Structure formats: C-alpha cells, structure tokens
Amino acid sequence: MSTSPVLFLFSAMALLSAVAHAAQTVTPTQNDSVDATINELVYSADPNEPEAQLTITLMCGKGVKTQPGFVGSLQWYRKAADLGSAQAQYYLGGMYETGRRVLRDYKRAAQWYRQAAVQGHVKAQVTLGYMYESGQGVRQDYGKAISWYRKAADQGFAMAQFNIGTLYENGHGVVKDENIATQWYRKAADQGYAQALDKLAKIGDGAVSVLTEAD
C-alpha cells in the first residue's frame, strides 16, 4: 500500500501567527488596537475574493479574537472554496476526511479534493490518488490512482513518486515491473524522502539503470 498523505491542514500564514501571538502578549490597551485592526480586516474583506475569505478563515483557525457573533471558520472555508480557492477546497477535503469540525464523510472529502486537484493543487492530487487506490470515499480504481499520482509526481512531489513506485512494485493498475518501481523510488529518494530511501536500502539498490518508461 502506498503512503497516506500527511495532512498539514490548519497551518496559518506567518503573518496570522504573529497577529495571534501578539493578541496574547500585548498589554490590554495594545490588545484593543490589535482587535480593532483584525476586525477592520474581517469586515472590509471583499466577499468576491477567495483569498480574502481564506485569510479570514485562517484567522479563525488560529483563534484570533473577533467581534461577538463572528462566523466560524467552516463557513469561511466554504465561501473561499465556492469562489474557487484550491487551498480552501483542499482544507475542506481534509476536514471531511478527518472529521475535524464536521462529521467524517469520505465521499465529500473526495469531492473537495477533486475540485482542488483539477486546479493543480499537488497535495490534493496525491490525496485523491490515495483515495482511489484505497477505495476511500470513491470506488477503488488503480488507474485513476496512478493518473492523479502522476500529475503530482510531474510537479516533483516525492510522496507521489514513491506511491507510483509501490503500484509498479505490486502490479496495481499497471504491469508489475520492479525496475520501473525502483526508478520511481529513486526519484523520491533523490529528494530525501525517507520511505523511498528505506525501500531502496531494503532492495539493495545500488546501480539500477535509468529507465525511460518512468519519464
């Protein structure tokens, strides 16, 4: 089985982290000023701009204080996602996959991941590939799994390269070919991907010829 993507779903931007930290460390008078600045950003956000909606969402996720009655981050993720933010779509997929703030729903997770993946979001592509490989939220389909892995691998994503290697090693969706599998492992290992390095060590790879089939 390939590696399940490790989701770093709720990391905020550095600026927002700094604002959240400031809200916890400044004096009461300064804190009032921070709150006023945050709320000015919140209420002046362009409702038709997906990244503005996503910024507000990340502020919610960091626990930055806003005026009473301010909506929760799920609604803002949805607003940004509906406006086409691939990052917000990916976050929503992760929320439904993990059951964070919503009921776990793999089918809805796959739907949101797909929306992000078609826009070229590399983590959404590899996650959707894994869902097809494992049959999680979608009908198991190794062909679609390797197709999505390949899109992410073409962007240089090491996890996708490793996962393609496992499909070739096991003959899932492709003709079993340990040489091609090894080349994909080497692509991932060249980026320092630990599982690929371990795999190559176990199979004793030392001087496997470069194969054009995996290019």
Q: Which residue has the tokens 């795999």?
A: 199
Residues 148 and 45 in one domain: yes
Q: Residues 4, 136: contact at Cβ < 8 Å?
A: no
State the pLDDT at residue 4.
58
Contact 126, 160 (CB under 8 A): yes
The amino acid at residue 44 is S
> For residue 15, what pLDDT is reported?
37
The pLDDT of residue 43 is 46
Q: Looking at the structure, tell me whether residues 88 and 29 fall in a common domain.
A: yes
In terms of phi and psi (left: phi > 0; alpha: psi -120 to 50; beta: otherwise), the region of 147 is alpha
Both 167 and 151 in one domain: the answer is no
Please give the Cα distance from 132 to 15 (Å, whole number): 36
Which pLDDT belongs to residue 24? 46
d(CA 215, CA 189): 16
Instruction: Give yes or no for a contact between 93 and 109, defined as CB atoms under 8 angstroms apart.
Output: yes
> What pLDDT is recorded for position 76?
76
Question: Other C-beta atoms within 10 Å of 62: how many?
Answer: 18
| First-to-last C-alpha distance (Å) of the chain | 22
- Tell me: do 204 and 146 sit in the same domain: no
Report pLDDT for 78.
87
Cα-Cα-Cα-Cα dihedral sign, residues 184, 190, 196, 201: positive
Rounded average pLDDT per 10-residue block, the chain, 215 residues: 50 39 44 48 50 54 42 73 90 92 94 97 97 97 97 97 96 95 96 95 62 42
| Dihedral sign computed on CA atoms, order 100, 102, 107, 109 | negative
Residue type, 150: R
- 75 near 102, Cβ under 8 Å? no
195/142 same-domain check = no
Domain boundary among 125, 155, 185: 155
> Which CATH number goes with the domain that contains 11?
1.25.40.10
Do both 175 and 129 map to the same domain? no
pTM of the model: 0.68
138 token code pair: 């979608």
Res 26: pLDDT: 41
Residue 54 has which token pair?
């996503």
Q: 3-class DSSP state for residue 97?
A: helix
* pLDDT score at 112: 97
Domain of residue 113, residue span: 1-155
